[in-house]
Amino acid sequence: MAHVSVVSAAVKRLEGKVAIITGGASGIGAATARLFSEHGAHVVIADIQDDLGLSVCNELKSAVYVHCDVTKEEDVEKCVNVTVSKYGKLDIMLNNAGTCHELKDSIVDNITSEFERVISVNVVGPFLGTKHAARVMIPAKRGCIINTSSIAGCRGTGSPHAYVVSKHGLEGLTKNTAVELGQFGIRVNCVSPYLVATPMLKKYFNLDEEGVRKAYSNLKGSYLVPNDVAEAALFLAGDESNYVSGHSLLLDGGYTITNAGFSPGQSE
């Protein structure tokens, strides 16, 4: 059944834009695909979860699915080529696909192949996405590239080493490509959320929505859901952010600036 837009034509912020969303079959990617579509974008969902990806596409008014393993350059190149062949352009590249592995007690217990796999998906994937998006955006002298990072990209956390390293690397890639591609009118940014109850979080951290809710300690009465991250991506993709580049948009309720030893209202 087609997803019916509730956004009026007067306020559609991506009307006629073409967007690729990697990892668009579930979680943050699927929420963003739905929101971008509501705002008038043609969406290409790139994922390895074929059934889920096709299911999301069937909900939307203008969307196609492309099987794409972001660690394989030929897959990413084909996805971009298919998009340009179908729509004639690429306006937005959202490098959202990501992975993790189970948290180990010590770095001594980490498995090298698991570490390399996370780096391959979380860093090499966005590198390839950026490379091939830039290939078609540079001649057009315009474009927007967004990377899905995390608060783990700006500080040490209790997350697995591979995940934290990959997100730090992704933020570096974002800044460096923003410097290079700005001369072509291409903006590069990342959106960096705190905990969101996604299938990946449930799988690797054993946290459901209630567990995520309990983890929020700074901004009371509020917690992140996938659509909040999608709204941030919409801002970065739209004209409202036309002079924003090289930026990491934190969605953390102030978590990363909070002194863990401080309790509001405490007396000395």
Q: Catalytic positions, please?
A: 150, 163, 167
Name the strand (E) or helix (H) holding 233: helix 226-237
Beta bridge partners of 242: none
Tokens 């990617």, residue?
29
CB 20 within 8 A of CB 79: yes
Question: Taking a C-beta distance cutoff of 8 angstroms, is the pair 36, 21 a contact?
Answer: yes
Phi and psi, residue 137, nearest 5°: -80, -35
